[in-house]
Amino acid sequence: MQLDNILTPERCHCGLTGVSKKRILTNISELIAQQNEQLEADEIFNALMAREQLGSTGLGNGIAIPHCRVSSCQEIIGSLITLDSPVDFDAIDGKPVDILFALIVPELKTDEHLKTLAGLAELFHDENFCVKLRDTHDNNDLYNLAVTFKSRVE
């Protein structure tokens, strides 16, 4: 899957403020719902929180990929966020998170969900990519970096 098929400039945000995992997931849910009229922020938030209760989506090294399936979602939706200050995300390495890629997937797209998650995990494993993301302070630049650094996520 092409990263630019699931990510838009409007869903890339630098320096988002959040003091907790819950607050950040609330902000992300609202941002995604504003861009997708078929989705409601509460539905996204509840699905993301339910997934977090199964186990943290914090990968380590300051990266998290919160993800969920939402019944009213029609296509895979991504949102790339950098935080103004790292927050505790219950990551596997215990380090706070400052880069998030939220992934909202239609309920029945299980294979695509897993392939996209694997591709994102590989992408964020690239330390050079993460350094560049952290050095980016413009939403459009964040989007351009993400879609040009690695054109395919699968």
Q: 92-148, pLDDT tens digit by residue?
A: 999 999 999 999 999 877 677 778 888 888 889 999 999 999 999 999 999 999 998
Number of domains in the chain: 1
23 occurs within a structural domain? yes
Q: Is residue 154 scored above 70 in pLDDT?
A: no
153 occurs within a structural domain? no
- Which CATH number do you get for residue 134? 3.40.930.10
The closest of 86, 77, 154 to 121, measured between CA atoms, is 154
Q: Is residue 69 scored above 60 in pLDDT?
A: yes
Q: Which residues are catalytic?
A: 67
Print the SS3 string covering 34-67: HHCCCCCHHHHHHHHHHHHHHCCCEEECCEECCE
Q: What is the pLDDT of residue 153?
A: 47
Q: What is the pLDDT of residue 152?
A: 42
| pTM: predicted TM-score of the whole model, two decimal places | 0.91
Write out the residue range of the structural domain in which residue 70 sits: 4-147
**Tell me: the pLDDT tens digits for 45-66?**
999 999 999 988 999 999 999 9
Q: Is residue 1 scored above 80 in pLDDT?
A: no
152 occurs within a structural domain? no
Q: What is the pLDDT of residue 39?
A: 93
154 occurs within a structural domain? no
